[in-house]
Structure 1
Amino acid sequence: MFKFFKRVSTVVGSELNAMVDKAEDPVKMLDQFMRDMESDIREVESAVAKQVANEKMLKRKADDAEAKVEKRQNQAEQAVAAENEDLAKRALEDKADLEQQAGLLKESWEQASKDTRELRHKLDEMKKEYQQMKLKKDSLQARAESAKTKTKMNRTMSAIGSDESKKGFERMEEKVLQYEAEADTSEDFTHENRSLDEEFDQLNDDDNKVDDELAELKKKMGKE
């Protein structure tokens, strides 16, 4: 009974952190801790309910015994008044037995009442501890999730900044530069070919111009 509270009732702060550090999944472990504590609390609540019922039963029996003692006392007095000593004597004898029973029942009820108070106090402590653990769990879960996120980010950043990644970027940069150089070379070659053609076109234009001027000069001098 109360297996989990016996095991972790003194586990707080760094001790709980240490338990979480050893777990494969801290979030799942913390949830399991809370379920175990809830189970123990339900057990204590059930025990308290039974103890309260037992206490009430003993109180009722003790009150009934006290009432019978008082009744026998009144009956003994009534018998004495009626000068029936034998009846009075029997009433007093039964009263003595009832007083003994009432005393035992009262002791049992007082012990039951004490046990009930202790169980209720224990239940209150367990509920308070549960709330503290719940707050601790929420905090640790948030920290665990934050740590996972940071680890993932750090690994990603590390991969981005690694030598392999840098070499990969450098290789891509070299390829781009090579593509650009090939494009420039192709453009220069095209320009060279175009310039050669233009020179011949210009040469043809110059030859045609000279021929035209020569014809014009002959015509002018009447040498046609």
Structure 2
Amino acid sequence: MSDNTSRVRTIFRSKTKKALDKMEDPRETLDDSYEQQLKLLQQVRQAVADVATAKKRVDLQGQEMGTRYQRLGEQAREAMAQGREDLARAALERRALLESQVAKLQDQYSAMQQQTAQLQQRERQLSEQVAAFRIEKETIKATYTASEAQVKANEAVAGIGSSIDDVGASLERARDRVSQMQARAAATDELLASGALKDLTAAPDADIERQLAVLSAKAEVDRQLQAMKQDAPSGRSSQQHREGPDGWLSIGQAPSQ
């Protein structure tokens, strides 16, 4: 072998090795991407738990208000039986105010149910994506490690550095990594979109609506008093209220046929 040929091989081996050393190790990059996805998945699961906890607090508050609602109705009937229409009116007025508060709580509870369902769906989708990414990650890492070992063996046998084919394989793995990152970005966009909260700000004419609600509540109290006067001998009640822990959800609702 001539000195010129040996010198060319030495230069080629040195430059090729430097070029490959500068390339990012896809195994480390894949592991980092996987860890980031696990952190994102944990954040989504924590959000699901937080919303579920808040929904449970609203449910407990609704149960307390339902119990008070029922007690006020009983107090009104007892007052009428004792001939105290003033006390019956006061109890019914308080119950009318409580009913409007329960209606707002029912809306909040319904919104939280919908938000919980959306977050749970996102969590399931993201879990599947992370599991699929992990399988592909390990496959790519194993392939890369095997290829790396083969390159080292070829270098030892042939006495030259990494080949151009190995550079092409590294570029292909880099393209695969970019595709994985794009999929993760799309999943992140979906999760951000699902976190939008319902706007509960008051309408510009809320003051008029409140005044009309007061007049309506007063008319309803008068109607209930008249109904109690008519039902007093038989002890019947014209109000509908479902018993049980979730009975508060039926307050103010139209009776089922």
TM-score, normalised via structure 1 length: 0.58
Alignment partner, residue 111 of structure 1: 111
Q: Deviations over 1:83-117 (max 9, x none)?
A: 11100101110010111111111111111122122
Alignment partner, residue 82 of structure 1: 82
Q: How has the CA–CA distance of structure 1 residues 23 and 71 changed in structure 2, closer, same or farther, with 3 Å as cutoff? A: farther
Q: How many angstroms does 1:152 deviate by?
A: 2.1
Amino acid at match of 2:147: A
Q: Secondary structure at the match of 2:159?
A: helix
Amino acid at match of 1:46: Q
> Sequence identity of aligned pairs in percent?
24
Alignment partner, residue 35 of structure 1: 35
Alignment partner, residue 102 of structure 1: 102
Distance 2:63 2:48 in 1: 22
Amino acid at match of 1:141: K
Amino acid at match of 1:145: T
Alignment partner, residue 10 of structure 2: none
4+ residue segments displaced more than 6 Å: none
Alignment of 1:123-142 (within 5 A): 123-142=123-142
Q: Secondary structure at the match of 1:24?
A: coil
Distance 2:38 2:28 in 1: 15
Q: How has the CA–CA distance of structure 1 residues 158 and 124 changed in structure 2, closer, same or farther, with 3 Å as cutoff? A: same
Alignment partner, residue 62 of structure 2: 62
Alignment partner, residue 72 of structure 2: 72
Amino acid at match of 1:27: R
**Counting helix residues as a fraction of each chain, which structure ranks higher?**
1
Amino acid at match of 1:133: F
Q: How many angstroms does 1:156 deviate by?
A: 3.1
Distance 1:52 1:82 in 2: 45
Matched pairs, number: 139
Q: Deviations over 1:35-54 (max 9, x none)?
A: 10111112112212211110
* Structure 1 contact 62–109 (Cα < 8 Å) conserved: no
Q: How has the CA–CA distance of structure 1 residues 39 and 23 changed in structure 2, closer, same or farther, with 3 Å as cutoff? A: farther
Alignment of 1:1-224 (within 5 A): 24-159=24-159
Q: How many angstroms does 1:23 deviate by?
A: 6.0
Q: How many angstroms does 1:135 deviate by?
A: 0.5
Q: Secondary structure at the match of 1:106?
A: helix
Distance 2:137 2:99 in 1: 56
TM-align CA RMSD: 1.8
Q: How many angstroms does 1:159 deviate by?
A: 2.7
Q: Which has the larger radius of gyration?
A: 1
Structure 1 gap ranges (5+):
1-21, 161-224
Amino acid at match of 1:139: T
Q: Deviations over 1:47-70 (max 9, x none)?
A: 122111101001111122222111
